[in-house]
Amino acid sequence: MLSFRQKSFRNRIVLAVALLTLVLQSLLSIILYRVHVHGIREKLIREGESLTAILSQSAVSGTYSESPEQLAGVVRGILHHRTITSIHIYNGQWFPIYEERKVPHFNSSLHQLSPRERERMMQTERFLETKNAFEFIRPVILEILDYNEAALYGSSPAGKSKLIGYVSLAMDKSDYQREIHSLLLTVFGVTLLLLISGASIIYVLVDRASVPLRHLTKAAEKIGRGEEAGEIPSGPYDEFSRLAEAFNNMSSGLQEQKKENIQLMEKLIALGRIEATGTLARGIVHDFNNILTTLRGYVHIMRKGLTPDSISLSCLNNMDVAIDRMSKLIRDLIAFSSNRNVSFENVEVNSLVDCLEKPIRSSLGGGIVYQRDLCARFLFVHGNPSLLEQVIMNIVHNAADAMAGEGTLSIMTKEHFGADEKEEEKGSFPLDETRRFAVIRITDTGPGIPDDVRKRMYEPYYTTKENGRNSGLGLSIVYGIVRDHKGSIFCHSETGKGTAFSIYLPLVEQ
């Protein structure tokens, strides 16, 4: 857990609620304390007034006769009460008749009052509160009955009251003060217990409620470090849940943007590879063209003197056709590598594959089986026949090298709408899923292409073959040609199960 000293949202909430709870509990405790203190005080006053009234009624005879002996019996009965500390009885002139103390040094404060103050106290509260005691005072009234002639016939006798003295008693406040002190400790303890319990409950609730905020903080830190934050779990649909949902959307958008940036970088790298291939091609195709011109001259020389039915003449004618095809390919490569306009026309894919049957079988040799599965419909694409032939032949040459003289090579053509959902590898370029495509799929039964090789196989000069056997330019040229035809190329390969290249070319809208 985070330290409470940290100025976190959770700690500020807990502190604010704890302070509010403390203020409310303090106010409530003060009110309850004052109510209880008032109740205890009123109970003690009522008890003192009741005892004083009993004493004044019981002391009438002894006060009238001013007999200490009579008063002693009355006083001792009341003095046995636990809280009574002293009793004083006075005559009508406020002269002491009798007094008795439990506490020897207790001095009544009533003696310090003037006659007017005593008279006013008699008319109001009839008690005096001091630091250590409550002192109660009550007059002793003698009722004098006048039995006249009317009383003989059943009427109530007339009478009058006469003030003959005063009684006072003092009640010790020790029990009262102890009870108040105990009440104060109880209220304080209950307040403290409620405060601690409430703060703990609030802390736990706020801590649980702030879990999404901590998840957001950690996720933001991960994003700041360039890591993937993942999805933040959200609880009940509240403000925190909506905030987590908004953050997840933002994080997902950032990840998508990051992927798009990576794809853009890959495209830029691919364009750099194509540019490097074009630069190299511009430097070497002229030399190849000169070599082919020399070969064509030798073929014409060797034809002379041969009969029409000669086998050698047939072979020389095939060589002449191959040289013408190679010359045309070189011219197209020169135009392609120098970014000049290459002539495009409507090309029927099935016919293109048929025309390549002899060169393909020648490249495969006798140990590799060649199979075709062509679409029953015509598949017209807008492209350059020589460049498309070069795409197919480059892949066929690589497949033949991989199978090492035995296996099966298959070429299949079909029509497809949008990107093939079965392709497990991303193509070189994204496809317009609203268009129809002609698909050329070349499959071999070779050992497959490892993942690390597949990541780099379109790079110029990259090759896994022995030095001198391959320049490493075949697939990079394929990559560029497919791109310029607004198509895409997919590669699916499993180690030990072979490789399949799928070339997608947009169909000409009929």
The two domains 9-196 and 343-510 share their CATH topology (first three levels equal): no
Terminal Cα distance for the chain, rounded? 70
Q: Is the pTM of this model over 0.85?
A: no
Question: Which tokens hold the place of 216?
Answer: 């957001």
pLDDT mean over 136-143: 88
- Going by the DSSP 8-state scheme, the letter that residue 359 receives in this structure is H
Q: Where do the structural domains in the chain lie, given as residue ranges?
A: 9-196, 343-510
Q: Which residue has the tokens 């000669």?
A: 310
pLDDT digits (tens, 9 = 90+) for 468-503: 445 445 787 888 889 888 888 989 988 888 999 999
Q: Does 505 have pLDDT greater than 90? A: yes
pLDDT at 238: 64
Least trusted range by pLDDT, from 55-59, 69-73, 176-180: 176-180
Its CATH class, for the domain covering 343-510, is alpha beta
Name 492's Cβ contacts closer than 8 Å, sequence gap at least 6. Answer: 423, 424, 425, 499, 500, 502
Query: Is 412 within 8 Å of 443 (Cβ atoms)?
Result: yes
160 C-beta neighbours (distance < 10 Å), count:
9
At 5, the pLDDT band (50, 70, 90 cuts) reads: very low
In 3D space, the residue among 414, 440, 435, 439 whose CA is nearest the CA of residue 509 turns out to be 435
pLDDT at 414: 94
At 374, the pLDDT band (50, 70, 90 cuts) reads: very high
Name 366's Cβ contacts closer than 8 Å, sequence gap at least 6. Answer: none
pLDDT at 103: 72
pLDDT digits (tens, 9 = 90+) for 183-219: 888 888 888 888 788 778 877 877 777 777 777 777 7
In 3D space, the residue among 439, 403, 397, 432 whose CA is nearest the CA of residue 418 turns out to be 432
CA–CA–CA angle 29, 34, 36 (5° rounding): 95
**What's the one-letter identity of residue 166?**
Y
Specify the CATH number of the domain 9-196.
3.30.450.20
Q: What is the mean pLDDT of the chain?
A: 79
pLDDT digits (tens, 9 = 90+) for 351-361: 999 999 988 88
Sheet of 158-172, strand order: 96-101, 84-91, 158-172, 133-146, 127-129
CA–CA–CA angle 212, 215, 220 (5° rounding): 125
